[in-house]
Structure 1
Amino acid sequence: MKFDWNPFHKKKQETRSGNSQKELPISDDLSQNIKRLSDEFGDNSEIIIRELNTGMKKDIRVVSIYMDGLVDQTLVNEFILESLKLNHSDFDKNTPKKDVFNELRMNALTLSNVKVINDWDQLVLTILSGSTLVMIDGWNEVLSGETQGWEERAIQEPTSQTVVRGPKDSFTESLKVNVTLIRKRIKNVNLRVETFQIGTVSRTNISIMYMKGIAKDDLIQEVKRRLEKIDTDSIIESGNLEEFIQDHTSTPFPQLVNSERPDAAVGNLLDGRVVILVDGTPFVLIAPATFFQFFQSPEDYYQRADIATLLRLLRFFVFFLSLFAPSIYIALTTYHQEMLPFPLLINLAAQREGVPFPAFVEALIMEVTFEILREAGVRMPRAVGQAVSIVGAIVIGEAAVQAGIISPAMVIVVGITAISSFAVPSFSIAIPARILRFLLMVSAATAGFYGMILLVIMMAAHMNSLRSFGVPYLEPLSPFNLAAQADTFVRLPPKVKQKFTFKRDNTVNTANPLNKEGDSNG
């Protein structure tokens, strides 16, 4: 017998079949509503229900309801409780409750955002969102005032995408703060924000931002469709959301860009992409994504074009170095010794004398050791994490050479590989390189350069088949787009692009005069 252990499973099945629950009305009996709230939340000491009397003879019952810890107590005291305590001399027990309700809505609550709620589920969600409710006896509608006031992390410098020159602020865990960081950079009415709630349990707020008139309507509708299609209990971080909306699951390559930099999000918005913000995480998602986009850094657009081009080409070089260096060494020393200069070959042969393992086993031991040290450095406290990684690598590498287990050349190759993997600006694209590096090592140990070339062809074919929200993953190289080459491997100065009449790539955006420059900030 199969038991349904998930209490939300039945509700989700009803929603899928079209039998969604109807809206639950709010009673006009204040005592009944308070009892219903007590049953709903149980013995929860965080729910604060304060009853007040107002009107000429203090015979109109009013209550304020909020959850302690989620509200700003100052806002509640000054703009709700003090207002409700005022003597409304025009009110008595014969005053129609609708008039009392409207008077409180229009005059008593001095908050900037006051809403009317007439659905019970929305009432409960409003309490859990940090708002304060005001109920009056004899009326079946509730006033809601935004009084959120939980502790939030201050805006700090980015930790994963640092730059030498450029803005030093980063996103936080607050959705409103993140939207504001983008809005203060784009003062344009075409910047649109739409918010969804995803997760039957967590009810996480998720916003999409796009530039109307620049982003393609098909892209915007596709993002909305995928978000509305999500059926899950909770979304805690943008990484959870990424797995639901990505095009392909059986690939190591990332299909969405994640960033904690507001300037990077702004650059992509102006390029016609859609930015997805998740409440509770400082990392936003950017769609669609291409392979070359992961090698662009916001700093490329804050310095001269020639310097930016040099650094971008360097990033491509170190990526391929981190991907191919161990496998090239294995192929050369195992199958293709004739390709090495004779003095170097003699030197490598002398170093490997006495080493009991073939080159592939050497590389595998060192790569696994460096991966362990990398993870240990990340998980340990920051004060000792870097010291453990650096000292551990030096000590273990030196000890392995002295013990005759590893040759000195292999330590150099693996060390260069490890350093190169950190030079790529996006951590998301460095992870596939770490995975594919082991496959290339196996192919090099099996068939030398022939095996490596065969695997590279398979990788290129696989990447060419990938799509990110309908955009080819290797665009603008495949399919080739001449106009977009002005900002792919190199970054041409704006004057040069204007001279040669380079137009902005319209794969992800419309041909709008607003987007004539064509610069994307990573």
Structure 2
Amino acid sequence: MSKLTNLFKRKKPKKAEKNKHLPFDSAKHNEPISVNLTKNINKLLDITGNAPDLIIRGLEPSYMDGVSMSVVYISGLANNDTIDNAIMDSILDKLELSTTESILLKKDVISFIKRKVIKTSNVEEVDYFCDLLSKLFAGDTIIFIEGAHQALTVSTLGWEHRGVEEPQSQTVIRGPKEGFTEDLNTNTTLIRRKIKSPNLWMENMKIGKVTETKVVIMYLKGVVNEKVLEEVKQRLKRIEADSILESGYIEEFIQDSTFSPFPTIANSERPDSIAGGILEGQVAILIDGTPFVLMAPVTFFKFFQASEDYYHRYDIVTFIRIMRFSSFFVSMLLPSLYIAITTFHQEMLPTTMLVSLMAQREGIPFPAFVEALIMEITFEVLREAGVRMPRAIGPAISIVGALVLGQAAVQAGLVSAAMVIIVSFTAISNFVAPHFNMAIAARLLRFAFMLLAATLGLFGIMSGLLIVLIHLVGLRSFGVPYLMPLAPFIPSNQKDVFVRVPWWAMKNRPVLIGNPDDKTRSTTMKSTVQNNESHEEYESQKE
């Protein structure tokens, strides 16, 4: 027994092999750049393992009296046209130097190349290898010069990236059709096109010891809550990870409640949705390499609001929003209610309906809970298979599979026709939620409520709802209550929760999210009054 226990114990690494295969850490290579060109090149080749995509071009301009230099860049990350035109041609062009320029060349060759030769605007001097490596793997071009204790970095970023296209996960009928891409500069530009204000501030940082992923915090100065902003910064700074490849990494690191099925951070690939959140005082977190931008803080009701809600009339938006809340509870509770009523509370059904349901269930070998569980798992498998299949056949296979399996299961006597209807309507209702992560919460809780209904009936469902409500009341998103503005109840914020009043009636920003000293948003009340006055003037002229 002791031998078996020792077999599964976690073995500690030996001291000699503890750091043998650690990933590269650029912070360790903080040596200053050498004046020896060959030594710098050899060190760079040693660090990168003589990478085949590391391009090194040696140059000896005629006007520099035999001074050698090397141009280094990563093929694929840097723009070849920029390197050829702004660096290579500029350096190799024959220059007729004046007396002043000759003195500058002999005195400080770095300043001469930076001021007189390179034609691009973004040229920096670096002193240490750690800074140089960060620039190199970000797409910059490095210029080493013999005899200089510094190197020049030239911004030549130019890898291939996807253009601005319509978002795939959050489509709208009316509204902008542009979505974020994987390029960070493009994403920040899309937001700046929406908010043309000098108060739109950005702060850069890098997260990930190996990937060094660029992350940008974007907010509206004066509107954002400074305490929330500081909390966002602190949580991002506390992240210690080797890699950040997608916004989901950061979302799991900085979210409030890790084991809650309800999301406490929103994500979107629509620039108009992110711009609207920034204008209300939220903080946007943009990550290089992903089209999904994070938004914090958020409340429960924010996940039922779509950007399209503010492009249509308020009356139809109110109807759709109430339908979204109803669909959320249907997708979470409908199978459990069917199980509870047919198993424990048959007296709640009309006699005719009860007789019809019992006739359908005659010959079904499984109880209602097992019947619902089989159908739910089958649909989840079909949905996941439809996502993974090629787009040309994915939707067709999932639809045909659902129809064929449902019909075959009913004819085989494994499930009842009513159960197929219940599961189908539940699945359709789950797609009504505009945010996918909130729909996932309903999918997970559905199975828990089915188990409670099978064991305790309606009493179990009500107990589960009470537990969920207590959990929601206790949740926070960066210090903001999750059920705000219902708990705590804020009357001024009820104009954009279950209903959406006209734009001219929404004078205030959400309380507790933005800056408490700047609650009033610019509304169209003034222009509406002017339009009324002009209409009265027009009517008087007609008379």
- Shorter chain as denominator, the TM-score bin is over 0.9
What corresponds to 2:419 in structure 1?
A: 410
Alignment counterpart, residue 74 of structure 2, candidates 67, 73, 82: 67
What corresponds to 1:475 in structure 2?
A: 484
1:44 aligns with 2:51: yes
CA distance in 2, matches of 1:50, 1:334: 79
CA distance in 2, matches of 1:171, 1:359: 45
Alignment counterpart, residue 109 of structure 2, candidates 94, 100, 104: 100
1:287-321 deviation digits (Å, cap 9, x = unpaired): 01111110000000011111111111111111111
CA distance in 2, matches of 1:349, 1:305: 45
Alignment counterpart, residue 400 of structure 2, candidates 375, 391, 394: 391
1:503 aligns with 2:513: no
Mapping for residues 482-501 of structure 1, pairs under 5 Å: 482-497=491-506
1:358-393 deviation digits (Å, cap 9, x = unpaired): 111111111111111111111111111111111111
CA distance in 1, matches of 2:117, 2:64: 18
Return the structure number with greater relative CO, CA threshold 8 A, min gap 6: 1
Instruction: Give 1:475 deviation, angstroms.
Output: 1.0
Residues 222 and 197 of structure 1: CA distance in aligned 2, closer, same or farther (over 3 Å) = same
CA distance in 2, matches of 1:96, 1:157: 52
What corresponds to 2:518 in structure 1?
A: 512
Residues 182 and 145 of structure 1: CA distance in aligned 2, closer, same or farther (over 3 Å) = same
CA distance in 2, matches of 1:143, 1:488: 54
Instruction: Give 1:506 deviation, angstroms.
Output: 2.5
CA distance in 1, matches of 2:313, 2:21: 55
- TM-score, normalising length: structure 1: 0.93
1:124 aligns with 2:133: yes
Residues 57 and 262 of structure 1: CA distance in aligned 2, closer, same or farther (over 3 Å) = closer
Q: Is the 8 A contact 1:312 1:490 kept in 2?
A: yes
CA distance in 1, matches of 2:234, 2:467: 32
1:462-493 deviation digits (Å, cap 9, x = unpaired): 11111110111111111111111100111000
Residues 179 and 464 of structure 1: CA distance in aligned 2, closer, same or farther (over 3 Å) = same
Mapping for residues 177-326 of structure 1, pairs under 5 Å: 177-326=186-335
Amino acid at match of 2:155: E
Instruction: Give 1:56 deviation, angstroms.
Output: 3.2
Instruction: Give 1:198 deviation, angstroms.
Output: 0.7
SS in 1 for 2:267: strand
SS in 1 for 2:76: coil
Alignment counterpart, residue 2 of structure 1, candidates 12, 17, 20: 12
Query: What are structure 2's unaligned runs of at least 5 residues?
Result: 1-10, 525-543
Alignment counterpart, residue 358 of structure 1, candidates 356, 361, 367: 367
Instruction: Give 1:495 deviation, angstroms.
Output: 2.9
What corresponds to 1:457 in structure 2?
A: 466
SS in 1 for 2:108: helix
Q: Is the 8 A contact 2:510 2:519 kept in 1?
A: no
CA distance in 2, matches of 1:293, 1:31: 59
Q: Is the 8 A contact 1:207 1:276 kept in 2?
A: yes
Query: What are structure 1's unaligned runs of at least 5 residues?
Result: none
Instruction: Give 1:8 deviation, angstroms.
Output: 7.7
- TM-score, normalising length: structure 2: 0.90
Instruction: Give 1:21 deviation, angstroms.
Output: 5.3
Q: Is the 8 A contact 2:493 2:511 kept in 1?
A: no
What corresponds to 2:93 in structure 1?
A: 86
Alignment counterpart, residue 135 of structure 1, candidates 141, 144, 147: 144
Alignment counterpart, residue 389 of structure 2, candidates 380, 389, 394: 380
Instruction: Give 1:504 deviation, angstroms.
Output: 2.2
Higher mean C-alpha deviation, range 78-87 or range 60-69: 60-69
SS in 1 for 2:289: coil
SS in 1 for 2:154: strand
1:309-354 deviation digits (Å, cap 9, x = unpaired): 1111111111111011001111111111111111111111111111
CA distance in 2, matches of 1:64, 1:117: 15
1:114-165 deviation digits (Å, cap 9, x = unpaired): 1111111111111111111112211111111111111101111110000000
CA distance in 1, matches of 2:267, 2:168: 13
CA distance in 1, matches of 2:89, 2:523: 54
CA distance in 2, matches of 1:102, 1:374: 61
1:244-288 deviation digits (Å, cap 9, x = unpaired): 101111111111001010000000000100000110000010001
What corresponds to 2:529 in structure 1?
A: none
Instruction: Give 1:99 deviation, angstroms.
Output: 2.7
CA distance in 1, matches of 2:519, 2:168: 35
Amino acid at match of 2:472: M
CA distance in 2, matches of 1:135, 1:517: 57
Instruction: Give 1:60 deviation, angstroms.
Output: 1.8
Amino acid at match of 1:28: V
SS in 2 for 1:205: strand
Instruction: Give 1:107 deviation, angstroms.
Output: 2.2
Amino acid at match of 1:232: A
Higher mean C-alpha deviation, range 253-262 or range 46-55: 46-55
CA distance in 2, matches of 1:266, 1:97: 52
CA distance in 2, matches of 1:473, 1:6: 44
CA distance in 2, matches of 1:376, 1:90: 69
CA distance in 2, matches of 1:37, 1:359: 67
CA distance in 2, matches of 1:94, 1:478: 73
What corresponds to 2:168 in structure 1?
A: 159
Q: Is the 8 A contact 1:200 1:233 kept in 2?
A: yes
CA distance in 1, matches of 2:299, 2:130: 41
Residues 57 and 306 of structure 1: CA distance in aligned 2, closer, same or farther (over 3 Å) = closer
CA distance in 1, matches of 2:332, 2:278: 31
SS in 2 for 1:235: coil
Instruction: Give 1:58 deviation, angstroms.
Output: 4.0
Q: Is the 8 A contact 1:172 1:282 kept in 2?
A: yes
CA distance in 1, matches of 2:342, 2:519: 56
> How many percent of aligned residue pairs carry the same amino acid?
48
CA distance in 2, matches of 1:517, 1:431: 36
1:29 aligns with 2:36: yes
1:20-72 deviation digits (Å, cap 9, x = unpaired): 85842111121211121121222222111111112536412122111111111
Instruction: Give 1:80 deviation, angstroms.
Output: 0.4
CA distance in 1, matches of 2:210, 2:196: 35
Higher mean C-alpha deviation, range 264-273 or range 113-122: 113-122
